[in-house]
């Protein structure tokens, strides 16, 4: 078994500023390759000797490659920021169309939706529970708007965009069904 303190994983190299291209060009094949005993994975663990990594990090080739990779990551960051702004603008501009249903039909659909989710409870349905179920059903009926988030990858602005979209959806439900406004406001507060 190898001493992991003398080796660096690919993830460890990335933390140190290495890109995949730099690993392939400057380090080549790993010094040790095998399965990770801590977790099951199809991909083998690639380990690079720490002394060799540190020696390569002192070379001019590494320094120039790291500078080029830094420029690429700055451009990627700018592109991600542009995508984030575009998605937020699309969410703000998109008209949210809430289905308008008679009260009895909305109740029927909310109960059916609740049962389709596998929820079972006591025989009687309270008024508060019915309001929560109706908002839940309408929120699910508006799930198609989640596609507005498709332009975001990873964490770049995704949390902010999801929060904005949820707020817009709950505001639209509250505007279409004023009797559900209190529950929508409660959910917006919880999901901050």
pLDDT grade, residue 154 (50/70/90)? low
pTM as predicted: 0.56
Residues 11-35 pLDDT 10s: 888 888 888 888 888 888 888 887 7
Q: What is the pLDDT of residue 99?
A: 93
* Helix, coil or strand: residue 36: coil
For the chain, how many helices (H) and strands (E)?
8, 3
To the nearest whole percent, how much of the chain has pLDDT over 90? 27
- Using a 10 angstrom Cβ sphere, with 0-12 exposed, 13-18 middle and 19 or more buried, the burial of residue 134 is buried
């Amino acid at each position: 078994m190898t001493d992991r303190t003398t080796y660096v994983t690919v993830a460890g190299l990335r933390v140190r500023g290495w890109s995949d291209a730099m690993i392939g060009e400057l380090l080549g094949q790993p010094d040790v390759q095998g399965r990770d005993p801590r977790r099951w994975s199809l991909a083998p663990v690639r380990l690079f000797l720490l002394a060799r990594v540190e020696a390569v990090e002192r070379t001019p080739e590494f320094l120039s490659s790291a500078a080029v990779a830094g420029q690429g990551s700055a451009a990627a960051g700018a592109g991600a920021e542009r995508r984030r702004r575009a998605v937020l603008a699309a969410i703000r501009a998109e008209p949210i169309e809430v289905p308008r249903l008679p009260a009895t039909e909305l109740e029927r659909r909310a109960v059916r939706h609740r049962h389709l989710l596998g929820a079972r409870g006591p025989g009687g349905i309270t008024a508060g529970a019915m309001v929560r179920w109706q908002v839940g059903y309408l929120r699910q009926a508006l799930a198609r708007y989640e596609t507005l988030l498709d332009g975001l990858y990873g964490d770049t602005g995704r949390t902010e965009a999801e929060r904005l979209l949820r707020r817009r959806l709950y505001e639209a439900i509250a505007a279409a069904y004023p009797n559900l406004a209190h529950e929508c406001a409660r959910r917006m507060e919880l999901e901050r």
